[in-house]
Structure 1
């Protein structure tokens, strides 16, 4: 009881940081999705009115502007940058495309007729594309060779997917209360991560150390990828916490998460404790005032980067 009271008092005293050190408009009328490259030099934005935008974060210059399905409204809600910055994948509910981040040119476009696309990921050199669908199937596709494998382990719709940089390992989570780590070369399950409710977010550490799986209730777990054992369960007071993005720090000490309610949290991986909380700037004109945090990144000198549905890239101090 005393411990709980102490935690409540600490939480009430600290509060969330709401004033960024810097703020840059990347999408004037807001964003539908965003991703930040692993080295935090590129930002990929699905804008409300200007298609898909690629920004150089360092120079703050727009590199490319793409249209996913030609003219008309932009409906892209899933995007991902390959860990080596070579390629990007974009998708709406019915089609996905792969692009070169070197030339800015499209490489391929594929339509999915069987079921809606829920999430996508791409590996280094654009070699493999992972597509999670509403019918519970996950497709791994190599566009250069035409090789395709379908993972049929899930029983209900997929909510989130992640892919290792080399494309050999996939992490997928769905409404069947399970996340699977599986081999894209064989389709074989490596680890099964059970939850008590639908799995809403998954993430993989680029260094191959950790997996993160979170459900719609209280479990948000960091796992050891090698052993499959739980390292920590994130500790928060709310009855539930939904995550819209998650990223591991390069030194393996921290997990940075974003939510659909403006909140950005830094967690200690070792014990699941919260280090700091921030709240991004709300989307202009939103009622109630809020914003979805789509992407986060670790910058040098203990700085953090966030991109949200407000269309803003914001820099914060730890």
Structure 2
């Protein structure tokens, strides 16, 4: 009896110890999750179809469910330009902003419109096409100066449009819809990803493949660091990796828990030393890129059940700015 009592006492001590440890860890995680933003700025009173922030965090563009397209000054929340759905030939779904903030591209299923933001006037309107005549637009990108437009299509094709010469080149780079395109390598190379799980880096003028990576499922987020040396790739089933593009070798995998769901956005900071990701829900996670270890995580403010991050950039003061699908800006201290 004494032995049994002693065993029960020892079990209870161990059980209490485990519970205490779990409560302590849970308390720490809860503190991270409950981290509040330094500032929140609701821009619109409707959910967004798409939204994008300028690279310097000074401008926000929102495309609302009402199809109202708005340009905002982040510092003052002042409305700079606005267009309604009636101003376009077809309904818009996608946005892209040039790095210098002078041009904005919008895309419906078949047409691209480019606006000069200095004048607020339409600069060019162009019908998109793929190898399949029924293909529709699935991704969009504007270069630093707005002189190059990349258009991904749902048949796996990508069009490179040069505005100065009004010429275009069509390449078949994927076997399924292209969900991300961007210029890299001093605008000489294209980074593209697709629902086929492939990530390609290729020459913008010839279409020649330079390097290629793949994941088992469709790619949900991808990011280059500012030197195009590190590349982050993640798919819909948490198959993620950070790759050294010079050696094509894996640097790390994120130490990821399923509770975060898949990654929707990714942003390298601190010259590739750190990575920030946003999930399909409200969580934003701050990582050590070399080890793949989580440094902290928190939730953006949600006004609806499906709230997520549409765009995020670093401000000049070293703080993170996020734009949510609820049309709200939030500033975060890392």
**TM-score, normalised by the number of residues in structure 1:** 0.87
Separation (CA, whole Å) in 2 of partners of 1:196 and 1:131? 24
Matched, 1:99 2:115: yes
- Please state whether the residue corresponding to 1:126 is helix, strand or coil: coil
Change (3 A) 1:8 1:306: farther
- Please state whether the residue corresponding to 2:320 is helix, strand or coil: strand
Separation (CA, whole Å) in 1 of partners of 2:314 and 2:235? 24
Q: How many residues align?
A: 308
Q: More helix by proportion, 1 or 2?
A: 2
Q: Which moved more, 1:118-127 or 1:197-206?
A: 197-206
Matched, 1:312 2:332: no
Change (3 A) 1:10 1:233: farther
Q: Which of these residues, 28, 33, 39, is aligned with residue 13 of structure 1?
A: 28
Matched, 1:199 2:219: yes
Change (3 A) 1:66 1:229: farther
Change (3 A) 1:290 1:282: farther
**Structure 2 match to 1:273:** 293
Root mean square deviation of aligned Cα: 2.6
Separation (CA, whole Å) in 2 of partners of 1:141 and 1:8? 56
**Structure 2 match to 1:33:** 50
Separation (CA, whole Å) in 1 of partners of 2:287 and 2:113? 34
Q: Which moved more, 1:158-167 or 1:132-141?
A: 158-167
CA contact (8 A) 1:258 1:295 kept: no
Q: Which of these residues, 51, 66, 73, is aligned with residue 83 of structure 2?
A: 66
- Please state whether the residue corresponding to 2:258 is helix, strand or coil: coil
Deviation (angstroms), 1:79: 1.5
**Structure 1 match to 2:252:** 232
Matched, 1:108 2:124: yes
Q: Which of these residues, 250, 257, 274, is aligned with residue 277 of structure 2?
A: 257
Q: Which of these residues, 34, 39, 58, is aligned with residue 22 of structure 1?
A: 39
**TM-score, normalised by the number of residues in structure 2:** 0.83
Change (3 A) 1:108 1:317: same
CA contact (8 A) 1:218 1:239 kept: no
Deviation (angstroms), 1:21: 2.0
- Please state whether the residue corresponding to 1:125 is helix, strand or coil: coil
CA contact (8 A) 1:99 1:108 kept: yes
Q: Which of these residues, 119, 127, 148, is aligned with residue 139 of structure 2?
A: 119
Change (3 A) 1:75 1:317: farther
| Structure 2 unaligned spans of 5+ | 1-20
Deviation (angstroms), 1:303: 2.2
CA contact (8 A) 1:17 1:277 kept: no
CA contact (8 A) 1:157 1:176 kept: yes
CA contact (8 A) 1:42 1:54 kept: yes
**Structure 2 match to 1:185:** 205
Separation (CA, whole Å) in 1 of partners of 2:327 and 2:26? 29
CA contact (8 A) 1:243 1:260 kept: yes
Separation (CA, whole Å) in 2 of partners of 1:50 and 1:150? 29
Q: Which moved more, 1:139-148 or 1:203-212?
A: 203-212
Separation (CA, whole Å) in 2 of partners of 1:155 and 1:50? 31
Deviation (angstroms), 1:130: 0.9
Q: Which has the larger radius of gyration?
A: 2
- Please state whether the residue corresponding to 1:244 is helix, strand or coil: strand
CA contact (8 A) 1:94 1:117 kept: yes
**Structure 2 match to 1:88:** 104
Matched, 1:162 2:182: yes
CA contact (8 A) 2:226 2:271 kept: no
